[in-house]
Structures are given as structure tokens and as C-alpha cells.
Structure 1
Amino acid sequence: MNELLTAVRAGRHHDVPPLVLGLDLPGRRSALAGLKELRKEVRSWDWQRRDRIRKALLVAGAGCHTGAAGCAAWIGGRDLRDWTRSPYPLILASLKDRDPAWLGDLAQRLAERSVLSDAEYSFVGELARIAQVPIPVTDNLVVGWTESVGTARWRGRTRRPLTDILREDPHTAVLAPRLFEMPELPPQVDWYDAPESQEHWPGALCALADDGVLDRPYLVERCVTRLMRGGRSVDQRFFLAVLQRLGATEEEESRHLRDWTAMAADGIAPVASHAQQVLVRLDDRGELSTRELAEVSGAVLFRQEKKLVRAQLTLLGKALRRDAATAGELLPAVAEAFGHEGIDVQERALKLVARYLPAVAGPEVRERLASAAGRLGPLHRETVAGLFGDLVEEEPQEAYEEFLPPAPVLRPHEPAPETVAELVEEVAARVKSHASERWIPSSAVADLSTGVTGFERTLDGLVRLARTHREELTAALREALAGVRFVEHGLGPYMVDPRAISTSHGISVVVASLLGLVSERDRVAWRAKTTVKGADACAHAALNGVLLDRAWEAAEAMAAGEAPFLLATPTWHTGAIEAAELVERLRSYRELGARPGPADFAQALLRVRRGGGHDGVDAAAAEALGTEEGDRLAAWIRADEPVAPVLRHPATTVSRPSAHNWWQRTTTGARQVLLATRERPVIRREFPEAFHWLGAAQLPRAQECYHWGPERSAHWTATLPEDPEALAAWLLPDLLFAADQGQRGAVGFLPALAESAGEVGAATRLALAYGLGARYPEDRTAAADALLVLAAGGRLDGASLGRELAILVDRDLVKVNRTADALGTVAATGAYRTVLTVLAAMLPGLLAYGKTPRGLGDLLSVAAECAERCGTGGIPPIAGLAATAGRKGSSQTVRQAARLLAAFPAVAEDAPPEGAESPESVEGPESPGAPDVGEATAPGRVDQGAAGPGI
């Protein structure tokens, strides 16, 4: 036994199996007790010592366990799994004297544990072979099997065909069917780009079914069942690909009639389309009754996908042509399309009703159809009146009421934890969630590791308790954070890089310093490294640098035992601090004889609420403190100036491009619409160096960087909660790239920005305009949320936002169809009047183009929906609308323009589009309080016909 423990401590894993086999049963039990103690001891070692003995410890413990359950638990221990070469051949060697039944039990237990690699799968398969039992069929084992298959494909110099590997695997016939029963497909299976190819899983499985290796009828049944069950879109597409490749027989299609109708009604678009095609074939064979067709049609016509709705209307039209007597049952289903958002769909359904209405005998059906037709807009009222006459009742017009979310209210910031146990729990949650965020949902990561409110609460708690309970706090933190990388290996340079940090990095910096993991020399060097200098730095690094500077300062203050608490801890959830509260904190510092940290006090000044009606009183109270910080606070309150005044951009008109100057309009220099900020000397004169970037004059630069993202930006808005304009101006390049080049996640800060209490001006509106045109739906949703927050607080200038959108569309920075999707999302919440105000200012510029912009029909559709819901009272006539509605043809643009035009009671002769002839800006040169860009943003227009932003 002693020799075994010595070999394990020396890391001689190859010597372990014969030493284990040389022990009798009592000897193995005694050795196991020593191995368990060694395992506990190893956890406190540094990673290099631990790595040297990990494999030997794993093999020895597995061989010394006498029970299969304990052996499986030992082998599956997470702290023993970090190895480079597989230890399982050695484990098999140490278990070769075991009874086959015992090995079979071990194989079953391991198969039920988390098996995620080909090594575990091969080990379980070998145990089953030795025990001469069938391989256990579990979901976890199937994951390992698919990993093993994927690894086998890439062995050697060339990739082996997937079908050949599956044919050679002895367990394929048993494990492959399990794929169709798992809650979710393994990640190695659900990727494919050519489902028909045998190089990918759907095609390979179908080839095995053709060969008789897999039961084809079983696969068909399971595919139908999985498509009926629903689930992840990628899984649904996989089972659909297999089903389409196998091809259901006529008998199988007939047997699943109810399933096809359910899929057509509720399945994802590809599944619903396939089910719809099956229903067409069933109808052709006379196996779809009129009642069943009416039932499924009512559900399909309720869907938003135009392709599915049109195909269903075609199917209904064919059934009506075949037998007009079915009109009484089918036309009410057709009428479901009257509520579809597509005007062409409405017209198609209306034509079907008009054609077959004479075949309807009963008055009840006519009344139902008339009631449904009453939902159609003003564009179809004349046709509806001609069809149904007095049956259509005019609904009384109720006064429209805008539905907006509640205006945001300030929520108090929670106080710091008062006990060591509570604080350590929060620190561990934030640090560990950041260390393992790839394994937990992104929403949980955002809540735990990046929420600025939680960060400030935790940071303040560390400062407070480190002063009063240092020994208890450090001991609890060491125990709670055992195994965390920076605790085990020290604080590496990557932890403090200002280009890519989150609030959890700031907590890690403070904790590492508190635990003595950072030397004084390293602390000084790292703090200097994280100070952002120079005009070339981006806003992200500057804002992150402020957070890191505060973290290092807090760490130094804790080391000296000076700071009783932090001055910059917010009063409200936005990050803002009440001036009166900051005065009281400074008074407490004075009474305790404590010196405020420069970075902490600077951040507190940036967070002080301004313009609350008590500025004079608060300034006087601060001045009465008789301290330097009190005088600075009083001067800051009285100045009531933004941190960085934002300058107006000169891109103020829509250019009306023609063929000869199109290339000039789309050049990079002419397309950018960004903002500059003016210098604030007091920042550079009185604030610490880490804050100097904020006070320097910033010219806009469309430089692409990787600092954006919801996991990085939580603290940015809380750094300047009273200056959303400056923050929006600095982060505009991110939003430009989100709209123009498709960066993901750059818009996530906008809702928090909209909740800030500062003035909403051109920068915020321009940021919102870019966000509404972002490529990814989740980014557009964030912008839509921000728009609603501003509207709910009565702080949205919809007309100015519409003009900004027109300028961005004019410069090809924002796509019309994306903007239509975002504004449609806002309108769907009930904010119809808000959206119509934006579109009424945006549309004139787009309607004046000679070539219709792509997506204009969708934008007009949103505007028409809003106008029909809220009315057009107070909305001026939209220039160019009548001309567009009067064009020849039946395009979506023309139809929707006519629909919108019908919502206006009377439209005067079109005036020139707003901004077409006049060079006046959105905020004109005479606008008070709008500083000019001057030489900072220079060059002006591209040519006489194209207004360039000149930035």
C-alpha cells in the first residue's frame, strides 16, 4: 500500500495498475482511505504539482474501489478529469481481475453519468465487451458516441465518409435510433449544410435505413413524432431533413393526417411548409375532407408567413373551383386572411370571397363573412360595401389612447452586505459565473457578473468589511474561491486589460489584492498599464479604464485600512447619486479623518444628479464642509455642465441621389454620420489621469473594435448616468457598425441609456436610429425598448428621429426593411401614434427616390397599420405619398401607399419633400444651444446634390 501511495505521489501512473493488482481486498480498502486523503490535500496544491499526479491518483482510486458505484463516482470526479492522454487503458488494466457482472454494472453507471467525449464512450464500450453485456443505451453515451464518430472522421490525412464509419461501428444499430428519442440532439449531429449528402448525419442515417441497418418505418414514425413535439429549430430541421430524405409512403401520409394538420398550424416555417405539401397531396387523392380542410386553413391563415398563407389560399381556391357548394364551409376559413398584415393577402382572400359568395346559401355565413370583412382597412371599404351592403356595420370610433409602458422610475440602490457570509456568497457567485460563463445561460451571467448595481454593492461591501473583519473575510474568500484560476495561479495580465473587461474583472482585482496575490510592485505596474492615455484610445477602453482605476484604488485603500466606505456607490439603480447624500458621505469622511480616493471621488462627481431643484442648497451644504472635496462638489453642482458637450453633425438633408453622383454618396467618407464632443478642461485639470480621456475633445472615428457587448457594457451607462448624450456620441461607431456591417451586441446599452436622467438630444436620437436599423433582431429589439422608454417618459422627439433615419437610409447606413421590422415591433406594443410620428417625418425623403428603396413597402405597411389604428389627426400630409400611390402596377409599395393614403381624410397636392430643396438642418443653425462643429468635423457636402456628413 505504501509503495502504491509513493508511486501516486511521484506521478508514476504506469506503475499503478500492477501495484493495485498486487493488493488484496483489505489492502485496497486501506489504500483507498489514503488516496482520499491525498485527493483532499491535492486540491490546495498549485496546478503544476496537481497535474503531475492527477492521472496516477485517478487510476489508483478506480482500482482500489470495491463497489461499482464508488468507482464510477471516482472516475467521474471533475477534479480528476483534466488530463491530456486518456487514462482509461490504465484503468482497464487495474480492473482486469474484476468479475464480469461487476464490470457490467460499472459500465451502466458510467453511461448514466455525463459522457461527453469519445474516450469515455470507448471506455464504456470496452467494459461492456469484457463483461459480455449489451452496451448501455443512454443519452449521455450517445453524446460520447457521436463525438467518437466525429473524431474517427478526421483520423489520418483525409476525411473518411461518415456513412462508412457508421457502417463499421458495431453499436450504430443500437445507438442511432436513440438520437430520435433524446430531448435535444448532440451538438456533433445537428450541424449539416447538405442534408441529402451522405457526408452529413441526415443523409448517412437514411443510407443506413436503405441498407437495412436501421428500421425505416421506425425512423419515419419517430420523425413525425419529434416534429409534432416541437423543440429547438435546429432539431426540427434535422428531423425534417431525415423525413424528407426517407419519403413517407401514401399509407404513412394518410395515417398521420391529424399530425400534418397540427404541423401546418403550429410548426416552424419549414415544417409547416412540408406538412402543407403533404395536405395538398392528400387533397388531390380525395383523402382530405372539406371540414378538415376548413379547420387547418383557419389555423394556417392565422400565421404571418406569407408563403404559407398564399399556398393555403391557393389550396382553398382549388377546392372551391372543384366544388362551389363547399363555399359555405370554406369561405369563413378564407376570411381568416382578412386579419393578415399583408395587403396582397387580404386582397387575394377578398377576391375569393367575392367570387364564391353567390354560392353561399345561408344568411348566417354571410353575416360571419361581413363581420370578418369589417376588419379590413379603408382601402377595401368600397369593395366590402358592394359585397355585403347593410350587413357591414360601421363600428363606432372610440377615442384612441396610446398604450405605452409605465414611465421608468428610479429604484434605490441596495446597501452593501453587512455580514461576511452574505458578502462572500455574492463575491463567489460573480467571480465564478465569470470564470465559467461559457457553461451557464448568458442571462444568468449578465445578472451575476455584469450588473453594475450588484458590482457597486459588492465592491462597497468588500471595502467596508475589509476594514472591520479582514481576517474572517480573507479566510472565507479563500475557501469559497478554491479552484478559481486567479486564486490558484495568480492575477494574470489578461485580467486587467482595459480593452476587454467586465465588472467581474474589477471584483477579481480587488479580491486578489485582498488575498495577497498581488505584490506591491505588480499593483503599481498594473494600475499604470490600465490607465488609458492618448487620443487614439477608444471610448470602451477609457470607460473600462475608469472602472479598473477605481478597483485598484479600492484595493490599495483596503491594504492601508483607510477607506471606511466608497463615495461613488450609487443612490439609484441608474448609477446616479443624490448630491445631498454625497455631502453626508464627505462629512462622515471628515469626521473619521479619512482621505477620499481621487478616482472614487471623481466617479462620484460624474454621478451626481444635476438640475433637481435643490442645487443651490446642496452646493451651499457642500461648501460648508470646509474641505477641498466639498468645494469641488459645490463648484461642480453650480456649473451644471455636461461632461462633454456634443457637437452637431452637418449631415442634415436627404441628398436625392442621381445616377451620376451615386458613387460619391456611397464612398466611406461621405457615408459616416457621427458626432464629435468638445473639450471640458476641468476634467483634465482636476480629475485623475484615468478620467482625462473623458474631458478631451473627441473627433468621431469609425474604428471597429471588439469591446462592445452586453457582458462588457453594463457599467458604461453608470459611469455617466447624467450625461447620456456624451456617452451616445462616443459609442456611435459601435452602432454604425451594428447597422452597416452587422456587429452583434453593440446596441445592448441603449435601454439603460434611455433610463438615464440627462437631456435627450441629437446624439441619443442618432444612436437610436442606428439601433433601429441594426442587422440582428435582438439588437433591434433593444433599440425598440429604448424608444418605448423615451416615449413613456415624454422625452422622445419622434419627428427628429424620423429625419435622422431618413439621413441614415440616404447614406446606405441603415436598411429600410430592418427599420420597418423594428418600428413594427414598437407599434405592436400599442405605441401606434409614436411610430406614426416617426414615419411621417421619415417617409417623404424615401418616397422621393426615383428607384424605390428595398423594404419601402414594409415601412409603408407599418405606417398604414398605425394610421388605421390611431387616426391621422394632427399628422401633416406626407409629401410624395399620393404620387407613389398613383403609380402603375400592383407592387407592395404602391398598394401600401394607397392604403396609407386612404387613412388620410383629405390630402392636399404634394409639396416638395421635406429637406429636398432646403439645406436647413434637423437642428437649424439658429437653434439655441446647438454648438456648431466648425473645423473639427469639416468638409461639408460631397457635391451640390448630395449632403455629406463630412466626418
Structure 2
Amino acid sequence: MTTHLPGDGAWPRVRRAITTGDPALVADAVLSLDEAGRREVADGLPGHIGVARKAVTERDRRRGVWTDGEEWIEPMRVAGAGVLGGAAAVATWLYRRDFTRWRRPLDSGPLLRVIAARPPRWQADLAARLALRLRGSRAQARDDSVPLALELLRRSGAVPPDHDPLTVAWVSQPPDLEHDPLAGHLVPRLFEAEGVGRALREDNVDPPSWDSSRRTWLGALRDAVAAGRLDPEPLVDGCLSRFLRGGDATDLRFFARLHEMLAPEPSERRVPDYLRLLPASPGAVAELALRQLRGAGGLRGADLGEAVAALLFRPEGKFVRAGLTLLDRAARDAAGDLDDLAPALASAFLCESYEVRERAVRLAVKHAARFTPAGAETVREAASVLPAELAARLPEAYGAVAAEPEPADDFEPVPLPPFEPPAREPFPPPLGDLTAAYDKVGDGIVFERWLDGFVRDPSKRPRPGRGWIYERPHWCHLAEWTEALLREAADPGAEPPVRPRAGHAAECDTEAGFDRLPAPGHVSAPHYAMLMRCAEIHAALKAGALPPYLLATPTLTSGHLDPAELVARVEGYERAGAEALPADLGQALLRLPREVDPEVIDRAGKLTSEAGATLARRLAARPEPELRVDWSHANGDYTHDRQRGEHSPRLRPRIRVEPTGLALVDTLLSDPRPWTFEDHGRYMESWRLTLPSDREAVAMHLLPHLLNVWERPGYFHRYVAALFSQDGPVGEATALLIAAQVAERGRDLLLSAAAAGLLPAVECGRQLGLCLRRDVARMSDVRAILEECAERGAHREVWQIMTGLLAVYLPGPDERPHASHTQALSFAIDAARRAGARGPLPAAEEAAARKGASRFVRTARALHAQLGG
């Protein structure tokens, strides 16, 4: 433990300077010290770290302000840099964990000043040590590691250590090749250090239009070459060596642009290296290599054959076409037979492009007489992979081509796995210990049992221990309302008046005295419905008007309420002269099953209260809401959305039904908000209990959370699966929930829906096609899942899904098809065969009628023919 010296010694003077928070004063104090004073301060510094940090915290607390509390750090660093003995100790001190902060120091002058007072060799040692500490981490991106290390290397004249992160850090700064003393050392390392290409992947010769004054590295290198400060030949060789080391397109993009900017003259010396780049380099690198080879006086002999073979083995059509052009020229220039070119020609038959294969067949026909029997055999064997119509064009010189046998389809239909919904058990009794469970009401069944117990038995309402809820202007959580109910029951009138915070006055719903409710849009509608029930019980409790029991408590664990039981409850209200609570009545109506015994309807017609009349009308004529899903803010049509420039995956759930006048019913049966806030999505596992006979309406309320993958829970699919055990028709919302989850969660959701007879397969396919259109899913993932579902017994449903998918996913007349469209058609062929499907399919027919012979068109024609077209 360090003992602070009294009086005006070295350490007290430096300590006072540190307390000011001014690094410049600390630098002045340190630079005035002699050797003994530096040792004294060096002894005191480590023990002062906690003291300095605490002093800033206490100061802020006394002032009643909040700062980042980091102003003590830079004075401490400056002091250590000026008094610690070895360069290694200073390097460690400057970046010790205690000095971690969120922003760089505003002024590095005081730190550089105390370092500059050290001997030159010491400064060079520190510069090298700081350079070797660089790692490219996020923490170092926030501190001054990089600028300090580079500045000290420049000032000390030290040779930069051979350290890849140092080179990456250097190129991550604006270039100044004319005046930077590090340029001579580090420019050659651009081609050796890992990470340089990725750091400069967005660099261009010219600066971006929005920052015309910005210097780019390509521009700086161009200017240095033009001014004669850099020799272009080592730069070209550096690019070539970097290409030969390999890497992906991102890593090599900068070097490809540099090579293009340098525009080297073709060189016979570099031909072998450029040839080595043709087979497997990223496209941009292979393209520049091919240009160089074409300009190097033309390829001949073995070099030509090597280039042809390399190009024909690449997957890109443009390189294969270039290879075929070289092959044709090589064939014309060759004096003898062409057997050496037979393997290259055969490899062109494997290309995915139909046009390339067709051109390869034309070359084979053109030069057939130039192959010996051995060369012709090589071509003939490779031709077995060609489509039948192309293989038939080969002349007799090659012999009969054995068509490749169709792959055997070992698919055998199996039954769907059984769907076993959870049993609908009698609803459990009211809770007894309300205090123990008041903060566990997030579960819908516990919530209902708690409310039931609270209303039925006033003796079971002890007040819970804590009471912070009154400090909040509105209550969004169920546990806040249940705590408030217990507190009001135990201590009537103890709740103070609501005093909304500044800026929150508009958030409270003050209708019907429910002054603690948040605004309806602040939470999801099913969540808000649960809050409404709490709020009206709270208001009734204050008014001394609690009913003897609740109407809406379910009779089954599915959330359903037996109609006869509800009639009996209303009859009991009428005998007791009790008034029904509106939200409670509304929730009770929504829990009725879809089919009701006529005798119950007749019995309800004899009720005399307003609540009884409302119930009788509901039982006699249950309204059926109209539900649909609109993608984007247009009419759900993709072409219309695209013409409006709307590409983002947005959707609007729509619920239309005649308003009832019951706020809870109208809240649940109206359009959900298409976007979500922080408190949206709470209690989602309980939503099915609010609308047990209208699962499609629950699906509508789930939709706003569907596309925000980062916001919804990882078990979201469980809420969708729970709907299969409820009642009511399914439609677009359920179809979309299943479709969007197919690629994400796998087969189980789709198989369960199919087994339950609740899969709107064609509509599911249509929604899946819209998801693909908007990049919510990828065709490769979708195909894999649908393939698995077909093998698990859903082969007929998978075909129906594909009919809906193709109708919206295939490109329109003004769109170009791509590989995923062809993949969808190819899978549809398999799906149709497995389902034994026949009959017209307009989407396939329209695609098949396109001109040309692309793979997309040929696959569409194959599907159309298979369906009997």
C-alpha cells in the first residue's frame, strides 16, 4: 500500500493535477520532475486508480448530474507515461483494463508531450510494442491504440514491426503516401497482410459523390504511380501474388480494382501465373487474368489447351463460352487430330446452361472428323449427360449415345403422423392463495383462476409486500393490476390520484374511470383485453359494485365457455340484481362455442336484463368476421406493390365485423396494428383463450410479430400450433403463419396442420410464394422442408402448396427468371408425380409458352407435359 507524502512533494503535486481532470496540467507537473520525483509518482500511481475513479463518482453524485465518469482516465495515463521506467511498463499501463472507456481522448497532445521527453531509443521501443499490441478488436476501435501507435512510429522513425493488424490499421486511416514516412515500409505489405483486402473492400479510385474531399487508397496509389513515387511493376506483381494465395471475392476485390487501375501491359513472363488463376479464382480475378492472356500475343500449344480446360470447368456461363471460343480457335489452328481437346469439349457438356451445351454440340458436330476413335469415344461417353434432343444431333462419327437413365424414384407414400390435440379438461377451480400467485398471472389459465377467486371471496385478499405501482401513470402488466386489486381490497382509497409524467399525458385511457390503462395501441389487442377486464374489476371494487362472480371464467381449459353455464350465470345475476361488467360480458360472449343447443337459445331468450338480451342475440345469430391479409399497404398484389416501389416485407391483418358496442369485443375483432412496440407480444401464450372459437382472428393478432424475427420469441411456432386445437375456420392468416414458419422451423408445424385437417394448402402455397418474393424465405430451404413433408405423408398437400406457390412466385412477362424459379418448377414436377396430379396449371402453362430454350422454359414445359398439357 502506497503512503502519500505530506507537504508539496512530487506525488502530492501530481495527484492534485490529476484531480483537476486536465491532462495538460498533469503533463506540466510530470515534466518538471527529477528522477527521484518520477520514482515517487510511479510508486503512488497504481494505488490511486480506485481513488480517482471514486472521486469523480462522488463529485457527480453531489452535483446531481450524470457523466460518463471517464475524465480521470487520461490524466492517469499521462502521468504513467511520464514516470514509469521501461517502455514495456508504459505500454501495459496505457491500456490496462481499468482505463477502458467508450470514447477516445479529445486531445492526445499531453500524452505525446511526455513521451517525446524520453530518449529516442526508448520511444522507438514503445512505438514497436504498441504496434504489436494491435489486434483489430472492437475495444481497440474505441480507444486510441491505432492513432497512437502509428503516430509514435512516424515520430520515432522506427521500422514498423511485421504485424498484419498494424498494416490493416494503417490502411484503415486516410492515405497520405506523399508525406507519410510509413509508406515505404507498409505499401509492400499490402499484398501480404491478412485483412487488408476486407478492410478496403469498398475502396474505389474516385471518392464517393457525397464526400468528394475524401481520399481513397486506390486514388492515392494512382497518384503516387503517376508522380513517379511508386513503381507500378512491384504493385502488379504484388496483386498477382495476392491472387495466387487465394481468397474469396470480398478479400480480393480491392486488389482486382488496383490491377485494373494499373492496367499492366501483357507480359509473357506472367502468363503461367495468369493461367493458374483461371480454374478457381473469383470471377473478377479470372476475368482480368483472361484479358491478360488474350493480350499476351495469343495462347498457343499447351498454354491454349490449359486455358480451354480451365474455362470449361468453371460454373459461370460467360467463362465456358469464352472457353468454347478458344477451343474453336485451337481446333482451327491445330495441324493434326483434336484428341487433346476432347476432354475439354466433354466438360462443356456438363455446364448447367442449355445455350452453352447447345454450342458445345455444334462444335462437336463441326469438328467430328478431326477426332480419332479414342477421342470420339471420350466425346460420346460425355454426351450421355446431354438432353435427348441435343444428344440426337451428334453425327454417326461418335457412335450411338447411351442416354443417362432416369434416376429411380423410390418414393413410397406413407400416412400422415396422427394429430393428437390436448384434451379439453374441465376448467380448474378459483385460486385460493391470491397473494402467492398475483405475480404469476402471465399464464392465461392462472389469470382466469386468479380473477375468479378475487371476485368470489373477499376474505382471500391480503395485501402483497411491495408497492411501487402507484409511481407509474399506467399499468401495462397484469401483475401490476393484480397487485393493485389486492391493495385496494386491503386498504380502500389508498391509491393516490394519477399524475402522468411529462410527455405521457396522452398515453392513459381515462374512459369509464380506467385511468391506469395504457393507450390501446401501446399493447397488443389480446393483451389489452386482459388489462380491460382487470381495470373494470378495479373500478367496480372502488365503487363497491363487484358482482358475486364473473361471467367469463371458462368451463374448459381450451378457453371455451359452456352456453348453458353462461345462461345460468346471467340468471343468477338477475336474481341477485347484479350488473354485468361490460368487458367481462364481452369476453364471455367470445368464449361461446360455435354450435349451441336450441334449448339453450330458447332459455336465453327468457332473460330480462340488458346482458341477457345481448347474450340471447349472440346465441341466436353469431356474427362471422371477414378476415384477410394485405401484403404491404397496397392490395396484396405483388406486381402492384412493385410498381409502387414497395419492396419491404410489410403486411396488414384485416378483421371486419359489425361493431357490437362492447369495447372488449370490438377491440379483439378489429384490425391489429401492422407494427409492434416494446410491450406488444406479451402474454402471447394466453391469446388463444380470448378467442377460442375464432382461431383465425387469433392468427391475425399473431401476424404483426411474424416478420420481426429478432423481436419474437424462439418458440413462436408453439403459439401457431396451439391454434390447431381451437375452433373456427382457417384462412389467409393461418396459411401465412404456417408458410413463413416452414423454412424457419421445419416440417412439424405443416405436418400437424395437415394431420389436423387444418392446412389451407393452396393458400399456404400462395403466401409462401409471397414470402419468397420478399426474401422472407429462400427456395432452397423451402424445397428441403417440403421434400421432407412429402416423405412424411403430406405428398398431396405439398402438391397443393406448390400450385399456390407457382401462381404468385413465377416471374411475370416483364420479369426475368432466375435459378430459384427453375428450382421451384423442378420440385413441382416431383411433387406432381408423387401426388398423381393431372390437369391444367395456368402458371406452368404460361411459363411453358415463353420463347427460347432456357432451362427455366424447358422445365416449365416438362411440368406442363406431365400434367397432361
- Partner residue, 1:915: none
Q: Is 1:192–1:201's contact at 8 Å kept on the other side of the alignment? A: yes
Q: Paired residue for 1:61? A: 80
Residue 16 of structure 1 contacts residue 60 of structure 1 at CA under 8 Å; is this kept in 2? yes
Q: Where in structure 2 are there 5+ consecutive unaligned residues?
A: 1-10, 58-65, 135-139, 209-213, 421-442, 444-470, 477-495, 509-515, 532-551, 561-587, 595-623, 725-729
Distance 1:695 1:844, change over 3 A: closer
1:649 aligns with 2:609: no
Distance 2:833 2:378 in 1: 30
Aligned mate of 1:7, from 17, 41, 50: 17
Distance in 1, matches of 2:393 and 2:652, equals 49
Q: What is the CA–CA distance in structure 2 between the aligned matches of 1:36 and 1:755, rounded to whole Å?
A: 56
Aligned letter for 1:399? D
Give yes or no for the alignment of 1:876 onto 2:835: no
Alpha-carbon distance in structure 1 between the residues aligned to 2:297 and 2:786 = 40
Kept in 2: contact 1:817–1:854 (CA 8 A): no
Query: Once the two structures are superposed, what CA deviation does each residue of 1:251-278 show, in whole Å capped at 9, x if it has no partner?
Result: 3x65353x43454333333223323333
Distance 1:315 1:522 in 2: 84
Instruction: Spell out, residue by residue over 1:736-776, the C-alpha distance to the aligned partner (whole angstroms, 9 max, x if none).
Output: xx8xxxxx9679979953895335754466536986xxxxx
Paired residue type of 2:325: T
Indicate which of 263, 266, 270 corresponds to 1:255.
270
Q: How far does residue 534 in structure 1 lie from its aligned partner after superposition? A: 3.8
Partner of 2:778: 822
Tell me the distance in 2 between the aligned counterparts of 1:817 and 1:354.
45
Shift of 1:72: 0.8
Shift of residue 392, structure 1, vs aligned partner: 0.5
Aligned mates of 1:862, 1:316 — CA distance in 2: 31
Bigger mean CA offset, 329-338 vs 265-274: 329-338
Equivalents in 1 of 2:297, 2:830: separation in Å?
39
Asked whether 1:890 is paired with 2:852, we answer yes
Decide whether the 8 Å contact of 1:116 with 1:147 is kept in 2. Answer: no
* Match status 1:332 vs 2:293: no
- Tell me the SS of whatever aligns to 2:177: helix
CA distance in 2, matches of 1:542, 1:221: 67
Match of 1:862 in 2: 823
- Within the alignment, does 1:676 sit opposite 2:686 as a pair? no
Matching of residue 71 in structure 1 with residue 87 in structure 2: no
* 1:767 equivalenced with 2:728 (yes/no): no
Which residue of 2 is the match for residue 227 of structure 1?
243
Aligned equivalents of 1:221, 1:325: Cα separation in 2:
37
Give the whole-Å Cα distance in 2 for the aligned partners of 1:333 and 1:640: 72
Structure 2: distance between partners of 1:817 and 1:313: 38
Match of 1:699 among 644, 663, 671: 671
CA contact (8 A) 2:128 2:158 kept: no
Q: For 1:354 and 1:766, how far apart are their aligned partners in 2?
A: 53
Aligned residue pairs, count: 661
Shift of 1:39: 1.1
SS of 1:676's equivalent in the other structure is strand
Q: Which runs of 5+ in 1 are unaligned?
A: 150-161, 411-455, 457-492, 499-519, 548-601, 612-634, 686-691, 739-743, 772-781, 911-951
Aligned partner letter, 1:295: A
For residues 514-593 of structure 1, the aligned pairs below 5 Å read: 533-537=518-522
Letter in 2 for 1:58: R
Residue number in structure 2 paired with 1:35: 45
Deviations 1:134-170 (A, max 9, x none): 4556444445544553xxxxxxxxxxxx6xx432333
Which residue type is aligned with residue 347 of structure 2?
A: E
RMSD over aligned Cα atoms: 6.0
* 2:810 maps to 1:831: no
What CA distance in whole angstroms lies between the structure 1 residues aligned with 2:349 and 2:410? 22
The answer as to whether partners of 2:847 and 2:857 remain within 8 angstroms in 1 is: yes
- Residue 111 of structure 2 is aligned to residue 91 of structure 1: yes
**Residue 102 of structure 1: how far off its partner (Å):** 1.5
Moved more, 263-272 or 374-383: 374-383
Alpha-carbon distance change, 882 to 297 in structure 1, aligned in 2, over 3 angstroms: same
Cα distance in 2, alignment partners of residues 40 and 537 from structure 1: 44
What is the rounded CA distance, in whole Å, between the counterparts of 1:656 and 1:317 in structure 2?
54
Deviation at 1:67, TM superposition (A): 1.5
Q: 1:228 to 1:49 in 2, by over 3 A?
A: closer
Give 1:757's aligned residue: 721
Pairing of 1:482-497 with structure 2 (within 5 A): none
- Shift in alpha-carbon separation, 1:882–1:862, aligned structure 2, 3 A: closer
Matched, 1:236 2:214: no
Q: 1:901 aligns with which of 861, 864, 867?
A: 861
Alpha-carbon distance in 2 for matches of 1:401, 1:109: 66
Which residue of structure 1 aligns with residue 354 of structure 2? 343
Going from structure 1 to structure 2, the CA distance change for 1:42 and 1:5 (only over 3 Å counts) comes to closer
Contact between 2:529 and 2:667, CA under 8 Å: does it hold in 1?
no
Whole-Å separation in 2 of the counterparts to 1:387 and 1:899: 30
Q: 1:3 to 1:907 in 2, by over 3 A?
A: closer
Residues 341 and 536 of structure 1: CA distance in aligned 2, closer, same or farther (over 3 Å): farther
Task: Give the counterpart letter for 1:675 in structure 2.
Answer: P
Aligned partners of 1:402, 1:173: CA distance in 2, in Å? 70
Aligned to 2:326: 315
Given that 1:206 and 1:245 are in contact with CA atoms closer than 8 Å, whether structure 2 keeps it comes out as yes
CA distance in structure 1 between the partners assigned to 2:497 and 2:71 by the alignment: 31
Counterpart residue number, 2:700 = 729
Alignment TM-score, normalising by the size of structure 1: 0.55
2-side partners of 1:51 and 1:831: how far apart?
A: 58
The structural deviation recorded for 1:356 is 3.3
| TM-score with structure 2 setting the length | 0.60
Contact 2:167–2:189 (CA under 8 A) maintained in structure 1 = yes
| 1:216 positional shift | 2.4
**Structure 1 234/184 Cα, relative in aligned 2: closer, same or farther at 3 Å?**
same
Q: What CA distance in whole angstroms lies between the structure 2 residues aligned with 1:297 and 1:368?
A: 19
Q: 3-state DSSP class of the match of 1:266?
A: coil
* Residues 360 and 310 of structure 1: CA distance in aligned 2, closer, same or farther (over 3 Å): same
For 2:113, the aligned partner's letter is A
Deviation per residue, 1:815-847 (Å, 9 max, x gap) = 86969x932454478939677654444446788
Distance 1:143 1:17, change over 3 A: same
Could you tell me whether the CA contact under 8 Å between 2:348 and 2:360 is conserved in 1?
yes
Contact 2:127 2:149 in 1 (8 A): yes
Question: 1:244 Cα deviation (Å)?
Answer: 1.2
CA, structure 1 residues 794+815, in 2 after alignment: closer, same or farther (shift >3 Å)?
A: closer
Aligned partners of 2:22 and 2:75 also within 8 Å? yes
The separation in 2 between residues aligned to 1:887 and 1:140, in whole angstroms, is: 57
- Residues 879/81 of structure 1: CA separation in 2 closer, same or farther (3 Å cut): closer
CA contact (8 A) 1:328 1:360 kept: yes
Q: Deviations over 1:351-374 (max 9, x none)?
A: 3334434433235x5455444433
Output the CA distance in 1 between the equivalents of 2:418 and 2:33: 71
In 1, the alpha carbon distance for the partners of 2:831 and 2:380 equals 23
Aligned counterpart for 2:194 among listed residues 172, 175, 183 = 183
Amino acid at match of 1:221: D
More displaced stretch, 124-133 vs 262-271? 124-133
SS of alignment partner, residue 51 of structure 1: coil
Distance 1:261 1:242 in 2: 19
Cα–Cα, structure 1 residues 694 and 192, in superposed 2: closer, same or farther, change >3 Å? farther
Return the alpha-carbon distance in structure 1 between the equivalents of residues 723 and 23 of structure 2: 68
Q: C-alpha separation between the residues in 1 aligned to 2:475 and 2:74?
A: 35
Which SS does the other structure have where 1:649 is aligned?
strand
> Judging changes above 3 Å, is the alpha-carbon distance between structure 1 residues 308 and 210 closer, same or farther for their aligned structure 2 residues?
same
The secondary structure found in structure 1 opposite 2:195 is coil
Are the structure 2 counterparts of residues 789 and 657 from structure 1 closer, same or farther at C-alpha, using a change threshold of 3 Å?
Answer: closer
**C-alpha distance in 2 between matches for 1:695 and 1:856:** 44
Work out which structure has the larger RCO, using CA pairs closer than 8 Å and 6 or more positions apart in sequence.
1
Q: 1:719 to 1:93 in 2, by over 3 A?
A: farther
User: Which residue is equivalent to 1:580?
Assistant: none
Q: CA deviation at 1:75?
A: 1.4
Quote the Cα distance in structure 1 between the aligned partners of 2:321 and 2:159: 52
